[in-house]
A and B are shown apart, each in its own frame.
Chain A
């Protein structure tokens, strides 16, 4: 194993973070025991329990966890850069030839299943994005989690998260991809539920895991099907192999006749992504995932989790498109599914985002919407545009989440400030509340409510509610400018931002299909254009409500990040990501774009050229020729949305107590519907969750098992008892009447049997001892025989 061999090197990329997880988990011992109400333990995310001693990690352990976690991800980053360097220095046509190696992993009859790593162009761009974004998130977490008593656990889990994502990225087969995929699912479960005392947190965690698992089990079927159909899961063997693709496209599916094997497998895999990337109708988990600490949101929404879903379908695109020609309007079933679901989700989620007041929820719905862009793009065959948007989105969305985290942190800081000045003696009151809560628990036995929920007498201040903010630009300038850059990139501010270039490419591809009169392309174009308009609008609304105007609360007036390490670690990543949120777009400027094309892409579109080589030559497609209509559309929707938002929220900033102007435009009914996310949570609770709980408890456990099966068993048992009683009566009669020997023996058996039934342990033990002795004799004899024989 040569450390300088690029075929071997990718193995090491995920090792750093995975090892970090292991080390942190094993070394950070719970060496200290503190009172749960002490300042050292308590922050607003943890309820204080009076009189409860809680084991916590020592300060040294916490520092160690930061150092180890950071070392792990930086190691991964450096190795990734090294691999990218090898790619850059590769002389042959990269894509036709790739880096990778594999080892036997599973014995399967006379052959074996191989596990390995692969670096091709698509992997390469992920290796540029993922470790960079992860490292930024890690640095940011140092500040964000500085006061949390479970900081060590946090760093262990995000290390595992990053390790799983990197495993997924370097995987050379679908099974290893799925391994990373699922481990990320668990990490997000644990991190969303990180503040697990809160009802909202553990419920969100369970929701996230269960919802994505719905899709994952379907995806597992797809993997099993693909494996049994081709005998391999290796990407190169399947996706870079026209023969296999052709076989899959021409074989009819094993069930659900009418589509090809490739079609059915593709649909299964796309359903997997619908869950993972939170597409309609499995989108419900993602907004709730905001319950986790904000760096986790950035991780889930940008660097890992949801990106993994899109990455998987981009990776599997040759299979999804096998048998179809999306550029000629001939879409396969999985592609059609993606185009429709993606386009619909992009628009649907954007409408919800308009009516959200939680600073992170707006971003959550924008993520769902942007993932819909990618999904739709891939559905119409815009392979490269989807990959491009995945990368740019990761940068600006990571930035936006972390910036919103800074806002929240600042607001909490402000709240703390106000709190201290307003109620100097509130610590005492706090204890009383906690005591009251604890008492309530004892009464109810089962504690299904939040300790820090509505039980409090004073209303809980929500540091995430944008209605409580306003004017933050003054106290948090760095956050403001970086948030602004991220927001403009998300909105697709023309020419300058990365988001514009990637979004524009999707629209250009869709428009090309539209000009040929292809239905799905037209649907995608219209939906995405409207969604892009809404995106620009809600982004401006968010920026206006948060940063512009005057502070609407006392807390907002005092919001800031303070000084020192916390402040630095929380702003530095924002600045770095802001750079990428602008400049990452210039690698993918179409070469025939007026003026800018000749500056950035003199020969060919670099991104297009590089990533396109991932596909078989016959599957690669040229960039759509420059057309003024989609570009103008991009301009109009972005600037129009931004302009409208500016008019409504910047020109005349909202003041405290004033209703949101959007309510007046939408009307109460529509606004409430949007605010409640079209009531999907309520719907799913009513039609899936409640019935399955009822079915489990009442039908399966009580009725089938205890009612039907056990009743039958008890009946049979009773039947035998009756028969036994009958024989007993018969025996008595026979003994008395005839005096036969056989019935007496039976009677004796009965007596003996009754003795067994006395329930006295000594007799049982005697019985067992006798049995054991008998067995022992048998063994002794056997051993003698063996010795004689041997």
Chain B
């Protein structure tokens, strides 16, 4: 609780509510652009300040060793008692990292949105409203609240793409919305099922994630029955797992659920792309880490027989899909001529590494739950998970920066076709330098942020999924290929004289917006331990249980 003007306010609730309040204020403000721009920026900076404050508070508490339970700044009050849902929020190192990312990216996205001419107030309000959805997911410790925020984040993004997007925005936004909603249906049903089934043990339904994490995986033992709703509990679990899995797999996106992404990114306005790639994709990965892995440890490692010839488990399939994401995502990016689609596919490629790390997490967590783990597997999983979470953060930085740069050039040339570019470095040397720097971060150049996380993931995955790691190296190779293709198309070659009288150089506003990202990329690459111990302590706590 913090004291503001005599009111006792919970900082996390404030953090979640504040962007919505700001969004409302934006709607009420007069239509003068200057006012709207500055108001949105200042308010988002305030929210960002709260996010940084929350992060710093977590770091201090963590360093002081005063985090007693797994979660910090925890609040738990009844909210919808009839359902058993409560306003249970709190953060650990993983969510603190992502809250920080969201808090940083939103003001930058708003700064970039200053260039919007049409219905600026509404655009900025939607961005702020979107932030509430994102932050809400990261603080939720109750499945119902999680679901509410999860769905809430869809709406503003839908409108951002649908109203301010490119030529093909109708198709892209509809695909994005319907696909995500469709994926969430199973999630909603499974949530209800899990919440209700808790009452067989507790006597009342609950959606509390902390409670369910221990209760749901051991439901059969605790309820003393192997049957739920007249169906074997294994089957129920498997179905619920599929419901959860689909919802998050679409969001990440895990290959082959990724085809909404290039469309949505290609058409979204720059700020939308920045937040979509920067934070929204992390909701999916976060969902795996917070929900799917802890709730279904037994399902992840239950043997699955493929075609009667090949025995694996869900974690293995997950890792396989991750490998496909890494490799095919890179190939697909290499095959694009549209700069925004290229960057979008790079997200499929990079998030593939996140998924790869999470597959090891799932395997180790499952084995730890079953009591069949060992300290080596735990160590591999800790490294892989550290890598995956750090990769989420890093990808947030670099993909947002890449979209910012792609948007900057699109804004000036009004084309996304890279074959129309060429030799821009001559005319836009600062833009060129920033573009190369960001591309290199995205490529995973050692010394910049992406390498640290990719290395951790590769290190953690190698002993567990050796073959898949080897194949995924093809993806890493083609990461280089598409990055170089992008640089070549935009900056290298003779200058295309069609743009002779255009101003192509990056604007000061854009430099201001990208500078924090560049600094963070460099700092994270050189001293990753500014943030990694925060992630590491929570990950170790989560995976250390098997010993």
Contact = CB atoms under 8 A, between A and B. Distances in A.
B308 interface: no
Interface string A141-185: 000000000000100000000000000000000010011011100
A433 to B, nearest CB: 13
A446 B421 CA distance: 8
Interface stretch (A63-71, A303-311, A436-444, A605-613): A436-444
B436 interface: yes
Q: Is the interface of B mostly helix, strand, loop or mixed?
A: helix
B463 interface: yes
Given A206-B484, A713-B259, A785-B79, A214 B477 contact: yes
Interface string B515-539: 0000000000001110011011100
A764 B164 CA distance: 13
Interface of A: 25, 30, 36, 47, 49, 51-52, 54-55, 104-110, 112, 153, 175, 178-179, 181-183, 186, 189-190, 193, 196-197, 199, 202, 205-206, 209-210, 213-214, 217-218, 220-221, 223-225, 227-228, 254-255, 437-439, 441-442, 445-451, 692-693, 695-702, 704-706, 709-710, 713, 717, 761, 764-765, 768-769, 771-772, 775-776, 779, 782-783, 785-787, 789-790
A104 B484 contact: no
A703 to B, nearest CB: 10
Contacts of A782: 13, 77, 79, 87
A786 B77 contact: yes
B533 A107 contact: yes
Contacts of A450: 494
Contact of A210 (B155, B258, B440, B480): B480
Contacts of A446: 419-420, 422
B386 interface: yes
Given A106-B528, A696-B332, A761-B163, A786 B10 contact: yes
Contacts of B452: 106
25 contacts: A52-B495, A55-B505, A107-B533, A178-B446, A183-B447, A223-B455, A255-B466, A441-B422, A442-B497, A445-B420, A445-B498, A447-B423, A449-B494, A692-B478, A696-B333, A698-B335, A699-B331, A701-B332, A761-B163, A768-B156, A775-B20, A779-B17, A785-B87, A786-B9, A786-B10
Interface stretch (B203-211, B405-413, B467-475): B467-475
B505 to A, nearest CB: 7
A448 B24 CA distance: 51
Given A761-B163, A785-B79, A183 B445 contact: yes
Contacts of A698: 335
Contact of A51 (B258, B382, B430, B500): B500
Most interface-central of A30, A36, A701 (chain B CB within 10 A):
A701
B484 A49 contact: no
B78 interface: yes
B435 interface: no
Nearest to A164: B447
Interface of B: 1, 7-10, 13, 16-17, 20, 23-24, 27, 75, 77-79, 87, 119, 122, 126, 129, 132, 152, 155-156, 159, 162-163, 175, 178-179, 256, 258-259, 262, 328, 331-336, 378-380, 382-383, 386, 419-420, 422-423, 425-427, 429-430, 433, 436, 440, 445-447, 451-452, 455-456, 458-459, 462-463, 466-467, 469-470, 473, 476-478, 480-481, 484, 488, 491-498, 500, 505, 527-529, 532-533, 535-537, 540, 544
Contacts of B328: 700, 704
Given A52-B495, A448-B493, A108 B335 contact: no
B459 A696 contact: no
B494 A451 contact: yes
Contacts of B422: 441, 446-447
A697 B477 CA distance: 17
A768 B155 contact: yes
Given A178-B446, A210-B481, A772-B129, A228 B463 contact: yes
Pairs of residues from A and B, 6 with the lowest C-beta to C-beta distance, nearest first: A696-B335, A179-B446, A701-B335, A107-B536, A697-B335, A438-B497
B74 to A, nearest CB: 12
Given A186-B440, A768-B155, A209 B462 contact: no
Nearest to A698: B335
Nearest to B336: A701
A27 B48 CA distance: 30
Most interface-central of B420, B433, B440, B459 (chain A CB within 10 A):
B459
A613 to B, nearest CB: 30
B8 A790 contact: yes
Given A220-B455, A228-B459, A49 B445 contact: no
A108 B473 contact: no
Given A197-B492, A696-B335, 5 more contacts: A105-B528, A105-B529, A182-B445, A205-B492, A450-B494
Given A202-B493, A713-B259, A772-B23, A30 B163 contact: no
Given A209-B480, A254-B463, A786-B75, A106 B497 contact: no
A441 B427 contact: no
A183 B526 CA distance: 13
A209 B328 CA distance: 21
Contact of B455 (A175, A693, A765): A175
B378 to A, nearest CB: 8
A401 B371 CA distance: 63
B323 to A, nearest CB: 14
B462 A224 contact: yes
B79 A227 contact: no
Contacts of B10: 786, 790
A221 B496 contact: no
A52 B500 contact: yes
B383 A771 contact: no
Contact of A183 (B446, B480, B535): B446
Contacts of B420: 445-446
